[in-house]
Amino acid sequence: MEYENKLVLAPMVRIGTLPFRLLAAEYGADITYGEEIIDHKLVKCDRRLNEKIGSIDFVEKGTGSVVFRTCDEEKDRVVFQMGTSDAVRALTAAQMVCKDVAAVDINMGCPKSFSVSGGMGAALLTKPDLIHDILTTLRRNMSIPVTCKIRLLKSSQDTVELARRIEKTGVSALAVHGRKVPDRPRDPAKWSEIADVVASLSIPVIANGDVFDYDDFQRIKVATGTSSVMVARGALWNASIFCPKGKLPWEDVKREYVRKSILWDNDIKSTKHTLKEMIMHHSSLELPEGKAVIKSDSLVDLARLYGVEKSYDFFVKN
Ligand SMILES: Cc1cc2nc3c(=O)[nH]c(=O)nc-3n(C[C@H](O)[C@H](O)[C@H](O)COP(=O)(O)O)c2cc1C
């Protein structure tokens, strides 16, 4: 996979499942990251072909829950993002999915206590030897691209130093979220510090942070000097942000998301969570639509709510 000149859907826990990734791609995303999946969880899964819907599922033994679902249509652009703190376990997990995805990415930016206390996510940023171990192990043993996603360190110099070490492991690209570990999402992303990384590396850098409109793609490219841009919240709130002609009405985007969730038999909890996040941004969960989503028990309830019963009938009959 190439990483130059790409519009990228960022990894988002509980959001970046198959229907959301396909939605973003339909609107113009070139590369779509899946939600972070922890290596411990993936290694407990079996790979199964789901003949009913034509997906490839990684299903947890014992519970039967689908941990990762993908399909042939996205094989050349989907990135499997992993949470890990151990090179050997990361490799075991990566080898399980490598034939079904375009690349594997390691999350080195998540500041949440669940990740950090397990030595994953942003905890890795202070362990350059472990980063080296994980990335070189994956690189040497995998034929698909390996990448990672970091946050900024305390000083720009520290970030550049770490980015240079990461580049030496042979990764194909580096995504940089322009915030530091203690920063909140409302703090502005520091595009100038991403620019320092871009200027110091030869591999493609994917700039991430505060892209909310199509015009922002050009602004962040100019400000950072890179050609590839990753979007999280801007895509969550309206996945058609990737359309060069401008965003579609969010009502249409939401309905298309529900339709795809039905066709790909998406987990109802994850579908509701994504819809609630969209509604909270544009309106309120206290209004009738929000209340109805909260009350929905199944995809058929959501099909009725959004007037896409035909998709549900198609799903049931086929
Ligand atoms: C709902 C949500 C879930 C996220 N989950 C992940 C994740 O699984 N892995 C990751 O590396 N970053 C995750 N992030 C961080 C985003 O990928 C991104 O780095 C951050 O939101 C900044 O981009 P933005 O300004 O476009 O939102 C998440 C962000 C949001 C809003």
118 and 254 fall within a common domain: no
Among residues 45, 71, 110, 148, which one is catalytic?
110
What DSSP letter does each residue of 112-161 carry, written as one string? SHHHHHTT-GGGGGG-HHHHHHHHHHHHHH-SS-EEEEEEE-SSHHHHHH
Q: How many CA atoms lie within 13 A of 7 on its CB side?
A: 24
Give the Å distance between the CA of 309 and the centre of ligand 1.
32
Look up the pTM and report it: 0.97
286 and 219 fall within a common domain: no
151 and 281 fall within a common domain: no
Q: Is the CB of 71 under 6 A from ligand 1?
A: no
Q: Which of 7, 13, 214, 230 to mutate to test the pocket of ligand 1 (most atoms within 8 A of CB)?
A: 13
Question: Of 242, 258, 286, at which residue does a domain stop?
Answer: 242
Least confident of 108-112, 137-141, 180-184, 196-200: 108-112
Q: With contact defined as beta carbons under 8 Å apart, do 103 and 112 qualify? A: no
* DSSP 8-state symbol, 52: T
Beta-bridge partner residues of 103: 79
19 and 125 fall within a common domain: yes
Closest residue CA from atom 6 of ligand 1: 12
Q: Is the CB of 12 under 6 A from ligand 1?
A: yes
Instruction: Output the CA–CA distances (angstroms, integers) from residue 197 to 2, 8, 128, 204, in the order listed.
Output: 19, 18, 16, 10
The total number of structural domains that make up the chain: 2
Residue 166 lies in a domain: yes
135 and 207 fall within a common domain: yes
Question: Does residue 176 or residue 113 have the better pLDDT?
Answer: 176
236 and 277 fall within a common domain: no
User: What pLDDT, on the 0 to 100 scale, is given for residue 30?
Assistant: 98
Q: Tell me: ipTM over 0.90.
A: yes
Atom of ligand 1 nearest to the CA of 108: 11
The question of whether 148 is a catalytic residue gets the answer: no
Q: Is the CB of 34 under 6 A from ligand 1?
A: no
Residue 2 lies in a domain: no
Closest residue CA from atom 16 of ligand 1: 232
User: What pLDDT, on the 0 to 100 scale, is given for residue 309?
Assistant: 87
Closest residue CA from atom 4 of ligand 1: 12
150 and 189 fall within a common domain: yes
Q: Is the CB of 13 under 6 A from ligand 1?
A: yes
pLDDT at 110 over 90: no
pLDDT digits (tens, 9 = 90+) for 169-211: 999 999 999 999 999 999 999 999 999 999 999 999 999 999 9
User: What pLDDT, on the 0 to 100 scale, is given for residue 69?
Assistant: 98
CA angle in degrees (0–180, nearest 5) for 126-211-267: 80
217 and 279 fall within a common domain: no
Q: What is the mean pLDDT of residues 286-307?
A: 96
Supply 238's token pair. Answer: 């309206």
Instruction: Please state, for a pLDDT cut of 90, what percent of the chain lies above it.
Output: 94
Residue 1 lies in a domain: no
Atom of ligand 1 nearest to the CA of 277: 1
Split at pLDDT 50, 70, 90, the class of 317 is: confident
Split at pLDDT 50, 70, 90, the class of 105 is: very high
183 and 166 fall within a common domain: yes
User: What pLDDT, on the 0 to 100 scale, is given for residue 316?
Assistant: 73
Domain coverage including residue 217: 7-242
Q: With contact defined as beta carbons under 8 Å apart, do 46 and 61 qualify? A: yes
What's the mean pLDDT when you consider all of the chain?
A: 96
Q: Indicate the SS3 state at residue 104.
A: strand
Atom of ligand 1 nearest to the CA of 35: 8
140 and 283 fall within a common domain: no
User: What pLDDT, on the 0 to 100 scale, is given for residue 249?
Assistant: 96
Q: What is the mean pLDDT of residues 136-140?
A: 98
The residues near 51 (Cβ < 8 Å, ≥ 6 apart) are none
Q: With contact defined as beta carbons under 8 Å apart, do 196 and 183 qualify? A: no
Atom of ligand 1 nearest to the CA of 121: 11
Q: What is the mean pLDDT of residues 251-262?
A: 96
222 and 255 fall within a common domain: no
pLDDT digits (tens, 9 = 90+) for 10-58: 999 999 999 999 999 999 999 999 999 999 999 999 999 999 999 999 9
Phi first, then psi: what are they for 12, rounded to 5°?
-145, 115
The full length of the chain comes to: 318
Per the annotation, binding residues for FMN are 11-13, 81, 149, 177, 232-233
User: What pLDDT, on the 0 to 100 scale, is given for residue 115?
Assistant: 87
User: What pLDDT, on the 0 to 100 scale, is given for residue 37?
Assistant: 97
Q: Is the CB of 105 under 6 A from ligand 1?
A: no
Q: What is the mean pLDDT of residues 89-114?
A: 95
